[in-house]
């Protein structure tokens, strides 16, 4: 199974089980806290995989642009969830933080293996 599919499955199942067992009344807040980090993580994986396959020399520029987009996206997302949707902030913040950190670590470890594999395939000048 591809990493993206595994991440979606693990996140959705863990979110569902945690809310079912620990706090069923905050399922919406927990789900919304998981959604943005998951979507951003999947988009980052796709961007890096595509860049490594096609134009690896543009990886730094693309990752810099992706970082800037993330810096603009996350505050807007949190503002909409907390301000417009009026979701309970504590379960949202806990879920968001846990999934954000876990997915960042997972993506970083995946990139480490991806880049190590790419370096072994690259010709030495």
Q: Which domain holds residue 71?
A: 3-115
Is residue 72 over pLDDT 90?
yes
Q: Tell me, yes or no, whether 106 lies in a domain.
A: yes
pLDDT (0 to 100) of residue 97: 97
pTM above 0.95, yes or no: no
Domain count for the chain = 1
19 in any annotated domain = yes
* pLDDT reported for residue 77: 97
Reference 30, options 11, 56, 47, 58; nearest CA is 11
pLDDT digits (tens, 9 = 90+) for 26-69: 999 999 999 999 999 999 999 999 999 999 899 999 999 999 99
Q: Are 47 and 60 in contact (CB under 8 A)?
A: no
Q: Is residue 31 part of a domain?
A: yes
Torsion angle of C-alpha atoms 89, 95, 9, 35, degrees rounded to 10:
40
């Amino acid at each position: 199974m591809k990493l993206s599919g595994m991440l979606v499955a693990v996140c959705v199942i863990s979110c569902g089980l945690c809310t079912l067992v620990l706090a069923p009344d905050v399922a919406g807040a927990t789900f919304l806290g998981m959604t943005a980090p998951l979507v951003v993580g999947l988009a980052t994986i796709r961007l890096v995989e595509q860049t490594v396959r096609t134009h690896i020399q543009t990886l730094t520029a693309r990752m810099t642009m992706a970082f800037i987009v993330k810096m603009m996206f996350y505050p807007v997302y949190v503002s909409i969830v907390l301000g417009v949707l009026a979701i309970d902030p504590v379960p949202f913040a806990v879920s968001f933080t846990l999934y954000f950190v876990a997915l960042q670590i997972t993506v970083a470890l995946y990139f480490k293996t991806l880049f190590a594999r790419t370096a072994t395939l690259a010709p030495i000048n």
